[in-house]
Structure 1
Amino acid sequence: MLFVYSGGNGMKLLTKRQIGEIIRFGFVGGLATLIQYTIYIILLRFIGVNFSYTVGYLGSLFFNFILTNYFTFKTIPTKKKGMRFLLAHGFNYLLQMGLLNLFVNINIEPKIAPFIVYSISIPINFFLVKKALK
């Protein structure tokens, strides 16, 4: 089954491979996000929002890199891909930190704010990581 989306040049079909990548990305990203959020919530009891979030992000990064290569996009990790992955995630981290601080500063509960951050940053991250690894 193929799905249609509206691209810049009109309607395009998504192939089974592309749909599979999106589903696998969601699965791996969900696990990585769960790891990140769990670390964040545990540390939030002891240290500040930004440091807790950063440690959680770093804690899920290695797991995310390995599974994204082997499982999501079915590629072999290399140093070059690792560097591009880190650049994509560097941008993603800065985006997430900016959004997290924005939401916390407008009085959204720090335990809830990451979910809003994820809903914005994850779709952007999909395209960045795909470009970095392929």
Structure 2
Amino acid sequence: MTTRGQIIRFVAVGAVNTGVYYGLYRALLTALPYVAAHIAAFTLSMVVSFFLTSYVTYRTRPTWRKFLLFPLSNAANFVITTAGVYLLVDVLGLASTYAPLLAAAAAIPVTFLVSRLIMLGPAARRTVPPPAPAPRAPERERTPVG
């Protein structure tokens, strides 16, 4: 499984999940106030995202441990996009209408790495397999000195 393939699948899953969120939000908006609709849609889409990320992006078996840790990838995304929007709008003077798009794009690499670590465990830190142990030279017979 290549990292490049994982990145492509990660972006595709993100696009699908954005559609899932927005569809749920619009549907729930007919019965709930917008904040409640947002929270419910966000929570439900995070569950969908977990399974898509598990099965499609990393092709790994979902577990309860991964499920419980998965919101950390969303938390990382939230922190980066929030700080990014502030930086882009208040510090750099960019229009607030476009700032979230740039901040979201900037968050993709970190979100990918956090989700990869959660889904694949510590082995995800290695991008190449560890080297095989070097073969040992045969022991020579030692002759006593003296």
Q: TM-score, normalised by structure 1?
A: 0.63
- SS of residue in 2 equivalent to 1:108: coil
Which residue of 42, 51, 68 maps to 1:66?
Answer: 51
The residue type equivalent to 1:24 in the other structure is R
Residue of 107, 111, 123 corresponding to 2:109? 123
Counterpart secondary structure, 2:66: helix
Structure 1: gaps spanning 5 or more residues? 1-15
Q: How many residues align?
A: 111
Shift of 1:34: 4.1
Tell me which residue corresponds to 1:30: 15
Distance in 2 between the 1:57 and 1:103 partners?
24
When normalised by structure 2's length, the TM-score is: 0.59
Match of 2:138 in 1: none
Structure (1/2) with the larger strand percentage: 1
The root-mean-square deviation of aligned C-alpha atoms, in Å, is 3.2
C-alpha distance in 2, partners of 1:99/1:57? 20
**Identical pairs, percent:** 27
| Distance in 2 separating the partners of 1:82 and 1:128 | 13
Contact 1:57 1:93 in 2 (8 A): no
* Aligned counterpart in structure 2 of residue 109 of structure 1, from 75, 96, 106: 96
Unaligned runs of 5+ in 2: 121-146
